Amino acid sequence: MMHSLRPLPILSLALCMTLLPGVALLLSPEGSSLSARAQGGKSMWSFLSEGDFEPILEASYGYGLFDHKLFNADLPTAGVAGFKIGYREIKPFKSWGKKLDERFIVGGYAKSTMPPGKKNSGGMEGEWWRVGTGQRSGYGWEIGNQSVIPYHQYAFSYIEPKFTNTTSLGSDDSARVARVMGDGRLLMSTEGGATVELFSSLSASAGYEASVIYTRLVFPQWVCSYLLLGSSVVIISDFAQDIASSSPVLGPILYFVLRNAVAYGFFYMFRGEMNWPFHSETPFMTHTFKIDVSLRF
């Protein structure tokens, strides 16, 4: 049965989707460079008019972990099934490589009874479903008819987390569970991994995603925290793109490492305070290790 939806997470997700074209222009490999933006880089939705992007359908499965820094009991794990519908552009870069750009709608469902999920030691089960939108980008190498592209991805989603069989929890943990359950929440995620083009229409990828679930939104703090994250990624992306343009060996690796290191560094701080660097609530997080298979049309 669907819970009543809080308006603030819905409005925040709608705002994220509205702002995503500009964010994607900043964070995509073609738009991250300051000089590229000055020359008129592509917008989030440029594929609608330019036709550079091709439709994709993607299915994924993986292993998900619930996480809360202050939780006293162990938390359940879950099997995670997901899908992605969107557009992808993979085009030549320099004389040696490939450049990846994806824009998509993403969704998924996770539950402790789905393998390899597991209840916690007291029998508590976890579950969530999510739907949202995001962007993936990276540089890679062309190897014969295949290509290998390390990537960075970010997404905003609407999520409904749920825990059952919580009677074994202490009072503090019960209060934390009650705090996050019952309504839809805003989720922000970052992901790093690698995509392998097996054939012109078939590719596979493996990645690790970290996500923060906002139990409530103090909107000014959240906006400032996110802008700090986004601007930091833009700055490091400008530096990393210059390396990628001049070094076929180190360029894609450093672009992948630097961009993901900045993003994961922020999410590590969000684990303690969800609107870091502002003093704020300790959130629930999810960590997902997954494998994707996608078809390009």
**CA torsion 121→124→129→130, rounded to 10°?**
-60
277/15 Cα distance (integer angstroms):
22
Q: What is the pLDDT of residues 232-253, one digit of tens each?
A: 999 998 898 888 888 888 899 9
Question: Are the C-beta atoms of residues 244 and 251 closer than 8 Å to each other?
Answer: yes
Domains belonging to the chain, first-starting first, are 7-26+52-296 (2.40.160.20)
Task: Give percent of the chain with pLDDT exceeding 90.
Answer: 68
Strand-pair partners of 66 = 286
Classify residue 192 as exposed, middle or buried by CB count within 10 Å of its CB (0-12, 13-18, 19+). buried
- Name the band, by pLDDT with cuts 50, 70 and 90, for residue 50: low
273/255 Cα distance (integer angstroms):
27
Q: What is the rounded average pLDDT of the residues 278-285?
A: 96
205/26 Cα distance (integer angstroms):
24
Q: What is the pLDDT of residues 177-197, one digit of tens each?
A: 999 987 899 999 999 999 999
248/240 Cα distance (integer angstroms):
12
Q: Is the pTM of this model over 0.95?
A: no
Question: Are the C-beta atoms of residues 43 and 19 closer than 8 Å to each other?
Answer: no
**DSSP conformation class of 118:** B
213/78 Cα distance (integer angstroms):
16
Triad 265, 292, 187: Cα angle to 5°: 45
Lowest mean pLDDT among 10-24, 126-140, 275-289: 10-24
Q: What are phi and psi of 138, to 5 degrees?
A: 175, 170
